[in-house]
Amino acid sequence: MNKFKKTLLVAGAALALVGLTACGGGDKKADGDKAGDKSGDVTKLLMYQIGDKPENYDTLMDIANKQIKEEINAEIDLQYIGWGDWEKKMSTIIASGENYDIAFTGGTYVTDAQKGAYTDLTEMAPKYAKNAYDQLDEAYITGNLVDGKLYAFPVNGNVYGQQVLTFNKQYLDKYDLKVDDIKSYADAEDVLKKFHEKEPNIAAFAVGQSFIVSGNYDYPLGKNSPFAVKTDGDNNAPKIINQYDDEDFIANLELMHKWYQDGLIPTDAATNTTGFPLDGNTWLMREETQGPMDYGDTILTNAAGQPLVSAAITIPLKTTAQAQMANFAVSNVSKNKEKSVEFLGLLNSNAELLNGLVWGVEGEAWEKVSDNRIKLLDGYKPNTHMAAWNTGNNMILYTQDTLPEEKIKERDESIKTAETSPILGFNFNTSSVKTELTNIANVMNRYQASLNTGTVDPKNTLPKLNDDLKKAGWDKVQEEMQKQLDEFVKTK
Amino acid sequence: MSEKKKVKKVEIRAFSPGVDLFFSIVVALFAISCIIPFIFVIIISLTSEGSLANNGYSFWPEAWSFEAYRYIFSGQMSQKIIRAFGVTILVTVLGTLLNSTITSLYAYAISRSNFPFRRFFTIFALITMLFVPGMVANYLVMTNLLQLKDTIWALILPLALGPFNILVMRTFFRKNVPDSIIESARIDGASEMKIFIRIVLPLAVPGIATISLFAALGYWNDWFNALLYIQNDNLVPLQYLLMKIQNNLDYLAQNAGMSAQMAGGLAALPNESARMAIVVISTLPIAITYPFFQKYFVGGLTIGGVKE
């Protein structure tokens, strides 16, 4: 026993020594400061992307890096950070001033840009990424301006968004239900009721805790905050209102409550955080956001692996949220700013490069059938390619041969005709009302889920909510926001 | 005047039966409330996904299934999970050895009254307990100064020495290793190292077992360091893998409505019962080691080395 302990101790001491020497030496592979090392004139760019690494990451990157090297003499080290870890990890990287070149910006784009974490691209983007920059819709530039400067290169994708009610087609066919005439929540009641009679155990309207009733509004601080601008109002003098005080919104809340009582909404909606799988059959109707690059229900149906049919309930709208959906920023500490912008330009203008990442390996996952049309092969599997929405310019992506020509025409038409939000590009400076906003967020946390899922009766609850909002300082924030917005409209 | 009650029996080390029963019930309820959630997790992990979807959680599901465990050992994530399990074990074993070694050495030195810098080194350790530099400072030290990003050491070193454990051990040495023993060993001609290994350590086994358990638990359950420093898939520990899955699910479920294209991400994640099975796999081993340390805890911290 004694001998054993002695051995343990010696082993421990030896380990400690090894540990100490290992610290001093440092690992040669540590890439923290290797970003931007010029090894044989090829610039190595370190790039952070959100999400999960594709299974065939090595193959995809090998192919891509060959092309990138040829075009701009650079190589990309693409590092993935998981969805849920993103905010924590990226904020640490930014706060510590660690060296990286390019990063996806997530939802913190405006605050990080104001902190000075990113390089100003206002002049660099048109200069080093001209081709790609010129293809961007005007709304992308306007929507991404922070204090008049552009700090990101947006992915040209769903420039507008519109809320749709999506139906599970298998049930529509089974019970012979029609959804063509649906233009609002109220229109869907009939279908939901009929379905609920037949299938009482399946969620007619699949909503969970994060569900918020939609309407023709745009939200300067996001959907979770009780500040909104009506988009079907006067676009030249937008007014900040509380949507929970707006009759259209209240009507919808009352409808939700009615549905909840009729059993059309699951009883645990206000606490359900797991959601309803798209590919499952546990639901009939859900709310989704669609844009031009979804080609109607094509993308949604692909993701679900079962046919889905949607009906729009809001107008197509170009908003700040859509413009900032997928941004790539160049770090302010990067040693290769020009190269980084050059690379972003290449990624967003070189069809061969981008399609090899988004569709997967050519000849294995897909093959060309014409200039910009492809046929998917058996090798096209989930997790063997990157996502279209947050990789690069959707306009140069090849389309599947199964997609009818008119859908592409429709796409281009719809982008032209989509409305622009009156507050596109407006970033509210919260510094003077931080406390009030925290209080308001706390109030919303108490009421939001139960109201929007119809769990409680809006007739009794809304007065309480609005009372609490007043106490939390809603008026002060509204005043400040309106002031800033009026300034913004003047200078537009 | 009422008659005095006869005292039948005096038992000074016990409560009266009624109070005894009351406390037993309280403790039993507490024990049950601790164990029930874990048993529930085990039950969910053995429930078939179908009955989860239809009836939600229940203590007696209508359909049992081992599908979740099959998923762990032969599903699409099995390699990742088994690898992560290996990483966790490696980190825990190495880390615990390192932690208990350094802690004992440090604590022993500051426990000796004839060590001149005793006060300085005690305060030195205490300061780190009182003033926490914050995450960014830690991050900078780990990544820029030590260049430990993406190495196994990034998981081991941050937890290798804690002031709390040092103080526990110091008190333990003070209490259990009387100066007279060390004195007599010195007179017999033992060197400092020999005294430490031959005399002090055997007396301190209960204390070392205690801090080893603390350290092992800390290493086993640590995921935050992995979040900060690990990018390489081959170095992901089990708890972080679990954390990642849960975080991804939360994020995607919250933002599912944002864009149709995000929905694809959800499909790649394991379902409910599989997640619970990973929880079981990641909790059981450490729960099983508890009884082995148990015997050192009970009274172990109060036994002295000699009678003075």
pLDDT 10s digits, A434-445: 999 999 999 999
C-beta separation of A76 from A65 below 8 A: yes
Which residues make beta-bridge pairs with A327? A154
Of A334-338, A451-455, B58-62, B200-204, the range with the lowest mean pLDDT is B58-62
Please tell me the distance from the alpha carbon of residue A241 to that of residue A227, in angstroms, as a whole number.
Answer: 6
List the single best residue of A2, A3, A17, A23 to mutate versus B (max B Cβ within 10 A). A23
CA distance B171 to chain A (A): 21
pLDDT 10s digits, A162-213: 999 999 999 999 999 999 899 999 999 999 999 999 988 889 999 988 899 9
Chain A residues 86-145 with a CB less than 8 Å from chain B: 86, 88-89, 92, 95-96, 98
| Average pLDDT taken over every residue of chain B | 84
> Buried b / exposed e across A272-307, counting CB within 10 Å, b at 16+?
beebbbbeeeebbbbbbbbbbbbbbbbbbbbbbeee
Nearest to B254 among A98, A210, A280 (CB): A210
Please tell me the distance from the alpha carbon of residue A106 to that of residue A325, in angstroms, as a whole number.
Answer: 8
Chain centre to alpha carbon of residue B225: 15
Interface touch B266/A304, C-beta < 8 Å: no
The reported pLDDT for the residue numbered A35 is 45
Please tell me the distance from the alpha carbon of residue B290 to that of residue A330, in angstroms, as a whole number.
Answer: 50
A149, two tokens? 């400067």
Nearest partner of A153 among A35, A330, A332, A321, judged by Cα: A330
- Report the pLDDT averaged over residues B159-186: 88
Tell me which H or E stretch contains A95: helix A86-96
A370, two tokens? 């014409």
In chain A, whose CA is at the least distance from the CA of B134? A92
Place of tokens 């004139």: A41
> Which CA distances in Å does B106 have to B28, B165, B174?
40, 10, 13
CA distance A421 to chain B (A): 17
What's the pLDDT band for B307 if we cut at 50, 70, 90?
Answer: very low
CB contacts of B219 in chain A (<8 Å) are none
Nearest partner of B195 among B297, B121, B115, judged by Cα: B115
The reported pLDDT for the residue numbered B108 is 92
A187, two tokens? 């229109």
| Conformational region of residue B147, where left means phi above 0, alpha means psi within -120 to 50, and beta covers everything else | left
Interface touch A52/B268, C-beta < 8 Å: yes
Other beta carbons less than 10 A from residue A19's beta carbon: 17
Please tell me the distance from the alpha carbon of residue B265 to that of residue B254, in angstroms, as a whole number.
Answer: 13
Of A55-64, A91-100, B53-62, B239-248, the range with the lowest mean pLDDT is B53-62
Low-confidence stretches of chain A (pLDDT < 50) are 1, 8, 12-38
The reported pLDDT for the residue numbered A17 is 44
Interface touch A84/B268, C-beta < 8 Å: no
Interface touch A161/B101, C-beta < 8 Å: no
Other beta carbons less than 10 A from residue B223's beta carbon: 20
pLDDT at B24 over 90: yes
Place of tokens 């310019």: A393
The Cβ-side half-sphere exposure at A54, using a 13 Å CA radius, reads: 22
CA distance B244 to chain A (A): 7
What's the pLDDT band for B294 if we cut at 50, 70, 90?
Answer: confident
C-beta separation of B96 from B213 below 8 A: no
Please tell me the distance from the alpha carbon of residue A103 to that of residue A282, in angstroms, as a whole number.
Answer: 37
Entry pTM: 0.82
The reported pLDDT for the residue numbered A1 is 45
Q: Output phi, psi for A96, to 5 deg.
A: -85, -5
SS3 A308: strand
pLDDT at B173 over 60: yes
- Report the pLDDT averaged over residues B173-187: 88
